[in-house]
Amino acid sequence: MSNRADVTIIGAGVVGLAIAAQVAKANRHVYVLEKNQSFGLETSSRQSGVIHAGIYYPKGSLKAKLCVAGNRSLYQLCPRYDIGHKRLGKLIVAVEDEERDELETLLERGRGNGAEGLKLLSRRGLKELESNVEGVGAILSPSSGIIDSYALMQYFVAKAVEGEAQIAYQTKVVGIEKTAEGYEVEVEDSEGRSSFITSVLVNSAGLYSDKVAEMAGIDIDRAGYRLHYGKGDYFSLKKRQSTRVSRLIYPVPPSDIAGVGIHITFDLEGRVRLGPDIEYVDSLDYAIDRREQKLFYDSGKRLLPAIEYDDLEPEMAGIRPKLQEPGGEIRDFVIRDESDKGLPAFINLIGIESPGLTAAPAIAEYVAGLIEERL
Ligand SMILES: Cc1cc2nc3c(=O)[nH]c(=O)nc-3n(C[C@H](O)[C@H](O)[C@H](O)COP(=O)(O)OP(=O)(O)OC[C@H]3O[C@@H](n4cnc5c(N)ncnc54)[C@H](O)[C@@H]3O)c2cc1C
C-alpha cells in the first residue's frame, strides 16, 4: 500500500464495492479497506436478495429514488454480466378487508416513486396468479425480483480491480485525522498499525458507519447518526405442492413496525424462506431464537394457509443498520459530503438498510458525483 491515495473507501460490502467499481480508473489511487478476510461477509450476505421496486419509501427520499434507479440498473447489469437473477414479480397481499385502504396508499406511493407496472388485483385476480395464497386483494409488482448478491459483489470486485483499485482485507480502520491534504487514515493489519493520507474518504462501513463517523470527530448524537440494530431472523420452508408459490409474497406492512413484515422469498435455487422479522437488539449476535418459530408460522399461515408448523426450520439472521429508533419515525439513508461539519471530502453513508442491495449501483453513481466534485 502506498502512503498516498486519491479515494479511500471503508467497507467492502455491496455498497462500498459498487462505489469502488464506479470510481476506479487508471492513474487514480483507489483503496478499499475491509476488516474481514473477504468481501461481503456482513449485512450484504445476510439479507433477502430481493430486487425491490421502490414501493414503500417516502416520495422524494433517497431510499425511493435510489431504489427505483438501482432496480433499473440491476436489470441491465445482470443479463449483460451473467449475474444470476430472476424477475419473479411480487404480490403485497391484503388478508383482511381493513387492509384494502393501505393497499391503495401503497399503490399510490409506489406509482409516485416511479415503481414500474404496479397493478391492483381483486381476490380473483390474486387467486388466478397464486392459487395457494389467501387474500382479499393484492398489489402486483412485476419489476420485483431476486438476485445472487454474491455474484453481484464479485462483478463489482472485478470491475474495481480492472480499474486498478486495491482491496485490502484484514485491514481495519482505527483512526481518522483531518489534515491539510485530506485525511490521515490509521489502519491495523497483520503487520500492526500504519497510516496514509487520502484526498477523499468514503465511509461505507455498514453496521459500524456511525463509529467511523465518530472517529472523524463527528458528534453522532447531535448529527442524528447513531445506529440501532434491527435484527431479522429467517426460517426456511419445506416445499410442498399446497404451499407452492411462484412470486414473492408480502403482507401489507403493519404501521407500527420498522420492517416490511415477514414475507415469503426464494433464493435462485428455488429454496423458499420466511422472514425477516424485526427485533431491536444491543449486540451483533446472529443466533436465531427458535422460540420465534410460532411467530413465523402464524405470519406465514396468514398468507399461505397450507403451511404446517413443522415445515419451518431456523435458517439465518441479518442485522439492519437502522437510524430509526425503536418506535421512532422512519429515516432516510444518510449519504453526504460532510463539508458543513468542517470535513470536506469526507463522505458518510449511514443507515444503509433495505433497499441498500437494490440501490447499490445507484448509490455508487450518486457518491461518484460527490467524489468527482472533490478531485
Ligand atoms: C435482514 C435483512 C434483509 C435485507 N433484505 C434486503 C433485500 O431483500 N433487498 C435489498 O435491496 N436490501 C436488503 N437489505 C439491505 C442490504 O442488505 C444492505 O443495505 C446492504 O447489504 C448494505 O451494504 P453495505 O455495503 O452498506 O454494508 P455491509 O455489507 O455491512 O458492509 C460494510 C463493510 O464494512 C466493513 N467495516 C466496518 N467497519 C470497518 C472498519 N473500521 N474498517 C474496515 N472495514 C470496516 C465491514 O466489515 C463490512 O464488510 C437487507 C438487510 C437485512 C439486514
- Give the residue, by CA position, lying nearest to ligand 1 atom 51: 47
Q: Is the pLDDT of residue 17 over 70?
A: yes
pLDDT bin (cut points 50, 70, 90) of residue 102 is very high
Does the CB atom of residue 147 touch ligand 1 within 6 A?
no
Q: Is the pLDDT of residue 157 over 80?
A: yes
For 79-96, what is the mean pLDDT? 97
For 141-159, what is the mean pLDDT? 98
| End-to-end Cα, the chain, rounded Å | 20
Q: How far is residue 143's CA from residue 360's CA, in Å, rounded to a whole number?
A: 17
% residues pLDDT > 90 (the chain):
91
Q: Is the pLDDT of residue 26 over 90?
A: no
For 20-27, what is the mean pLDDT? 94
For 258-266, what is the mean pLDDT? 85
- 3-state SS assignment for residue 22: helix
Res 257: pLDDT? 60
**Conformation bin of residue 332: beta by default, left when phi > 0, alpha when psi is -120 to 50:** beta
Give residue-wise pLDDT tens across range 238-256.
988 888 999 999 999 877 6
Mutate to test the pocket of ligand 1, among 44, 173, 193 (most ligand atoms within 8 A of CB): 44
Q: How far is residue 330's CA from residue 229's CA, in Å, rounded to a whole number?
A: 14
Per DSSP, the residues of 191-222 read TEEEEEEEEEEEE--GGGHHHHHHHTT--HHH
Q: Is the pLDDT of residue 281 over 80?
A: yes
Asked whether the beta carbons of 143 and 68 are under 8 A apart, the reply is: no
Q: How far is residue 368's CA from residue 361's CA, in Å, rounded to a whole number?
A: 11
pLDDT mean across residues, the chain: 95
What pTM value is reported for the model?
Answer: 0.97
> Which positions ≥6 away from 154 have C-beta within 8 Å?
none
Ligand 1 centroid from CA 15, angstroms: 7
Q: How far is residue 293's CA from residue 310's CA, in Å, rounded to a whole number?
A: 9
Q: What angle do CA 99, 355, 21 make, to 5 degrees?
A: 165
Query: Of the candidates 351, 327, 374, which has an alpha carbon nearest to the alpha carbon of residue 62?
Result: 351
Does the CB atom of residue 355 touch ligand 1 within 6 A?
yes
Ligand 1 centroid from CA 44, angstroms: 4
Res 256: pLDDT? 62
Ligand 1 centroid from CA 13, angstroms: 6
Which atom of ligand 1 lies nearest, measured to the CA of 204?
26
Res 344: pLDDT? 97
Res 71: pLDDT? 98
Ligand 1 centroid from CA 123, angstroms: 37
Does the CB atom of residue 50 touch ligand 1 within 6 A?
yes
Q: How far is residue 340's CA from residue 29's CA, in Å, rounded to a whole number?
A: 26
Whether the bond between 321 and the residue before it is cis, its omega within 30 degrees of 0, is no
Give residue-wise pLDDT tens across range 305-332.
999 999 999 999 999 999 999 999 999 9
